[in-house]
Structures are given as structure tokens and as C-alpha cells.
């Protein structure tokens, strides 16, 4: 090590990152680590990245536990040689500064704060939530962390030791009543959900949306899809939509753009965001240069991006600088819906379920696979006529799907 005590701080990935939430510690307190070993995972915005140890040594202090949120640059752990006294490590934690300002454990907005009822010891956020759920007086829990910090494990150990018989806690009758009528669960937004909320609020308040809707006949598309070689990765209806949208965007570049202040950035390729439903919320990885890819290539890449979105392995590059977004809820049987534009993009396409409908064809009633497509566009950049022309071109491609193969 270059110095006897080395701080591990919340990293900053990109200028937009202000804070991160620790999702898991891969190293335990007191464990020896080598330079390059994975210490922890941090969630920020819509991605989770791993933090590697910059040095070799022993993890002597964990200042921010799993579930804690800390500002970029804040102290989250300390690595030091085993020969360094505990008191010196504690002094390092107490006196650590960032940019000239004192940095205290869990300085992030959702981090633990000192609890007067816990004899001055700090309590991790997850420990407090578990104690409230179990009806445990947090002041009676003995913390095992630095300065008596109370962790999730401390609360669980306390609960197991007393088995609900702790003096001053709820009686068996009260506990039974509480179990029969549990209190509502209070949970802080995850970084992903908070980012989604912030961006959607900005979009709805700041973008003059308008919507255009068309019904497209997917019957020929379904027939063609059934006749295609399924290959390693089957081609889905959404893969057809992505390719058709990419080709249409090349003819209508006003929709393949971003609005940055008073400047319009028009893309030369269709970098299409694919809305993916995950446990953490809606994540939109980008399928680059979609107009240059075959249906099979789109199918393979789209599934890989969806898998990485759900497993939390997307990088920042996977989710930024898209030119257009497609949100498909057809698999949920939704008849029609409109989507909110993902700024700074200027348009988004909502794709509903393709279902059997009775329609008029050459003076007769026929049953066809009809899907409703809804375009939401930013009226500051895209005129209504331009949006309508894009939708007409898109429908023509989807109703004549041989053009997409």
C-alpha cells in the first residue's frame, strides 16, 4: 500500500452522478483483499457497477452498509494494514474530509443519522426499518459496528435472542393483533425509481406532448413470422416493429433527434431505446444502428440487452444517447396506451397488443390481427404532419413485412 490507511469513497461515474446506493458488500469487515478484488456493488440511476479495491490490505471499517446511500466522494470504507491500531482507524473515519468539509459516516441523503434514543450510536437505514417492523426498541439493540453502529444483523440477532420477550416490547396479544393488521410498509424509492420519477415529471411538465394513433394490420406479419426459420433466437413481433421504426426514422429524421436547450441534435443512425420492465422499474437500453441490422441481429441483440437490464449488468453507455424509444405492452394484452417522451428525445412509440378484430375489407367483414400504435411527439420539434407521415410509413412497412426481411 502507498499509505498505511486508505479511504474507499463513493465513486463518481460521469458528471451527472451525485450519489450512489450500496446494493451489496462482497468483502466482509476484517477480510484481507487484494488490489483489483471486487469490494461492493453500487447502484446509480439505472445501472449497477462494481467497485474494485484500489489497494491490497484489510477491510478495517465499513462506514456505509448495504442499503445506505452516500454522496459521490463520501467515505464508505477504510482499508488499512493489520498493524494499524483500531483507534487510529477510528480517528481517520472521524476526521475524513471531502473538499475541505468534514465527511461523516453515511453522509448521503438516505444514510443513517445519529439516534438520540440509541445512546448516540448511529443506526443503518435497513436496521431501523427492520426494528420498526418487528416492534423492537432500537435503543436496546447493541451495535457491533464502529462507534457502536447498529446494523441489520444486530437487530436480527437481538430479535432472535429475545424472541419477542424483551421487556418493554409489545405483548403477545399486541403482537398478534399487529400481525393480523400489519402496518403499511414504508420504503424509500430506489435510485432507479427516483430517476424514473424525476425524468417523467420533467417530461410531462416541460414537453408539449401531442399524440397520434393508427391501427396497423399485423396479419401478414404474423404469417411471415411463423414461416421464418426460428434460428437460435426466435424473432418476435417487437423485433419487426424495431426494424420498421428504424427504417421509417431514416425517412423522417425530425423524429430521430434530441432537443438540447435551443439546439436540435439529429442522429444519422436509429439508436432505438427498448423499454424493458424489471423489478427496479422501467429501464431503456439502446439498440444502436438498428436500421443497419437484420431481423435476426435485432432479435439477438434485443434479448441480450433485456437480459442485462433485468440482471443489472448494463453500463452507462448502454442506456444513454438514444434517438427514439419504443414501449411495447402488447404482451400484457393492453388495447391501446400512450407513452411519455424520454427527454432529451423528441418522440416515443407505444405498441399495444395485436388482437383479432372485425374490420371492413373490400366491402366485407374480416377478422384481422390489429394493433394500435400511438406516437407521442414533442411539438417544439416535430409538427403534426411530420408525425403523421412517420406513422403512415411505419404502418405500411408493418403491413408489408417482406420489406423488413
DSSP classification of residue 230: -
CB 370 within 8 Å of CB 218: yes
Grid coordinates belonging to 394? 411505419
Length of the chain: 405
Query: What does the alpha-carbon distance between residue 236 and residue 247 come to, in Å, rounded to a whole number?
Result: 17
CB 8 within 8 Å of CB 77: yes
Catalytic residue among 26, 209, 252, 379: 379
Query: What does the alpha-carbon distance between residue 141 and residue 74 come to, in Å, rounded to a whole number?
Result: 27
Crossing angle of helices 152-162 and 125-134, in 10° steps, is 20
Distance of CA 307 to the CA centre of its chain: 13
3-state SS class at 219:
helix
DSSP classification of residue 345: B
Give the other-Cβ count within 10 Å of 350's Cβ: 24
Query: What does the alpha-carbon distance between residue 116 and residue 235 come to, in Å, rounded to a whole number?
Result: 60
Closest CA to 403 of 220, 206, 219: 220
Query: What does the alpha-carbon distance between residue 346 and residue 387 come to, in Å, rounded to a whole number?
Result: 11
Grid coordinates belonging to 167? 421487556
Spatial neighbors of 378 by CB under 8 A, at least 6 apart, are 207, 208, 209, 259, 341, 346, 347
Element (H, E) at 395: helix 384-399
| Cα separations in angstroms, 338 against 119, 168, 206, 250 | 53, 54, 17, 23
Burial 234-254 (b: 16+ CB within 10 A, else e): ebbbbbbbbbbbbbbbbebeb
Instruction: Please confirm, yes or no, whether 379 is among the known catalytic residues.
Output: yes
Annotated catalytic residues are 379
Amino acid at each position: 500500500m502507498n499509505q498505511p490507511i486508505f479511504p474507499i469513497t463513493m465513486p463518481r461515474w460521469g458528471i451527472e452522478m451525485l450519489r450512489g446506493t450500496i446494493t451489496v458488500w462482497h468483502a466482509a469487515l476484517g477480510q484481507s483483499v487484494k488490489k483489483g478484488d471486487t469490494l461492493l456493488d453500487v447502484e446509480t440511476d439505472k445501472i449497477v457497477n462494481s467497485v474494485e479495491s484500489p489497494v491490497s490490505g484489510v477491510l478495517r471499517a465499513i462506514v456505509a452498509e448495504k442499503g445506505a446511500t452516500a454522496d459521490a466522494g463520501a467515505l464508505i470504507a477504510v482499508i488499512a494494514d493489520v498493524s494499524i491500531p483500531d483507534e487510529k482507524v477510528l480517528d481517520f473515519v472521524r476526521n475524513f474530509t471531502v473538499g475541505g468539509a468534514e465527511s461523516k459516516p453515511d453522509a448521503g441523503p438516505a444514510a443513517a443519522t445519529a439516534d438520540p434514543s440509541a445512546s448516540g450510536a448511529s443506526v443503518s437505514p435497513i436496521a431501523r426499518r427492520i426494528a420498526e417492523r418487528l416492534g423492537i426498541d432500537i435503543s436496546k439493540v447493541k451495535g457491533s459496528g464502529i462507534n457502536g453502529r447498529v446494523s441489520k444483523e444486530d437487530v436480527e440477532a437481538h430479535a432472535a435472542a429475545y424472541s419477542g420477550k424483551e421487556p418493554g416490547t409489545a405483548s403477545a396479544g399486541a403482537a398478534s393483533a399487529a400481525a393480523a393488521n400489519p402496518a403499511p410498509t414504508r420504503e424509500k424509492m430506489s435510485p432507479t425509481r427516483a430517476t424514473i420519477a424525476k425524468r417523467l415529471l420533467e417530461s410531462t411538465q416541460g414537453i408539449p406532448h401531442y399524440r397520434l394513433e393508427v391501427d396497423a394490420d399485423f396479419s401478414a406479419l404474423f404469417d411471415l413470422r411463423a414461416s421464418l426459420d426460428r434460428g437460435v433466437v426466435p424473432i418476435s413481433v417487437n423485433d419487426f416493429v424495431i426494424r420498421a421504426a428504424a427504417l421509417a426514422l431514416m425517412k423522417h429524421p425530425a423524429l430521430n433527434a434530441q432537443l438540447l436547450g435551443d439546439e436540435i441534435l439529429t442522429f444519422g443512425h436509429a439508436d432505438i431505446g427498448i423499454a424493458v420492465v424489471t423489478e427496479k422499474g422501467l429501464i431503456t437500453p439502446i439498440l444502436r444502428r438498428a436500421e443497419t441490422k437484420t431481423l435476426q441481429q435485432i432479435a439477438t441483440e434485443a434479448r441480450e440487452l433485456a437480459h442485462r437490464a433485468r440482471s443489472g449488468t448494463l453500463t452507462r453507455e448502454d442506456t444513454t444517447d438514444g434517438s427514439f424509444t419504443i414501449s411495447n405492452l402488447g404482451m400484457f394484452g393492453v388495447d391501446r396506451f400512450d407513452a411519455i417522451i424520454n427527454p432529451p428525445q423528441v418522440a416515443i412509440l407505444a405498441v399495444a397488443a395485436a388482437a383479432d378484430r372485425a374490420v371492413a375489407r373490400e366491402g366485407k367483414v374480416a377478422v384481422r390481427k390489429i394493433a394500435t400504435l400511438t406516437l407521442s411527439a414533442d411539438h417544439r420539434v416535430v409538427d403534426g404532419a411530420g408525425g403523421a407521415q412517420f406513422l403512415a410509413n411505419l404502418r405500411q412497412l408493418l403491413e408489408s413485412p417482406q420489406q423488413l426481411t
